[in-house]
Amino acid sequence: MPRRTKREPIWKPTKEQVAAATSNRVNDVIDYGLDVLFVGINPGLYSAAVRHHFGRPGNRFWPALNMSDFVPEDEELLAFDDCRLPDFGMGITNLCPRASARADELSKDELQRGARTLTRKVKKYEPRFVAFLGITSFRTAFGIKGGEVGRQEMSIGEAVVWVLPNPSGLNAHFLLPDITELFNELKRAVDRSKVSRKK
């Protein structure tokens, strides 16, 4: 199989552009009937500066996704390719639109408002799975105690709810191979759901 080649980002923001990105928004990448809608916590300032999801080079979302079975061997997706996610049955949004330097700057109220907005999106676009990237924000947003990564007991509309680790480089609890394997667990669940629907 062809190997992916390493590609460079289209452009890198300056420190001043990153610092000034607090009012920038990163648009949803979403379509009807997706296999998976990934849900980040909120845009970091770097992502807001480039206006693409998980834009900071040290974030492990795109490397894990590329190494997983979600992306064909001959493809490589970078943050600047986020608009291509629906081509592979995926989409991405955030719980909260407000950009910040750290996710812990968000209030409980913001996260809970975000959960209500997300619920409306999921019921409108009807993805099969909704995958949250960060368990702590997921618990806060939906008022859930406990819980681990993986499939959750709750659903949103007809969508299965899944939790993956926060891919930030600051999350030392999970290494890139661990995150990749958890992406693959989700992919296997998505594939099983397609088979069961055909029966």
Is 159 in a helix, a strand, or coil? strand
Q: Domains of the chain, with CATH numbers?
A: 18-198 (3.40.470.10)
Is 39 in a helix, a strand, or coil? strand
Please measure the distance between the N-terminal and C-terminal CA atoms of the chain and give it in whole angstroms.
Answer: 32
Longest dimension (CA), the chain: 55
pLDDT of residue 7: 65
Each residue's pLDDT, cut to its tens digit, for the chain (199 residues) gives 344 556 666 679 999 999 999 999 999 999 999 999 999 999 999 999 999 999 998 999 999 999 999 999 999 999 999 999 999 999 999 999 999 998 889 999 999 999 999 999 999 999 999 999 999 999 999 999 887 999 999 999 999 999 999 998 777 789 999 999 999 999 999 999 988 776 6
Q: List, by residue number, the catalytic residues.
A: 42, 53
Task: Give the sheet arrangement for strand 150-156, strand by strand.
Answer: 90-94, 36-40, 129-133, 159-164, 150-156
Q: What b-and-e string marks burial along 60-92, b requiring 16 or more CB atoms within 10 Å of the CB?
A: bbbbbbbbbebbeeeebbbbbbbeebbebbbbb
| Angle of helix 135-142 versus helix 108-125 axis, rounded to 10 | 90
Query: Which of 133, 93, 138, 147 is CA-nearest to residue 115?
Result: 138
pLDDT of residue 78: 94
pLDDT of residue 193: 94
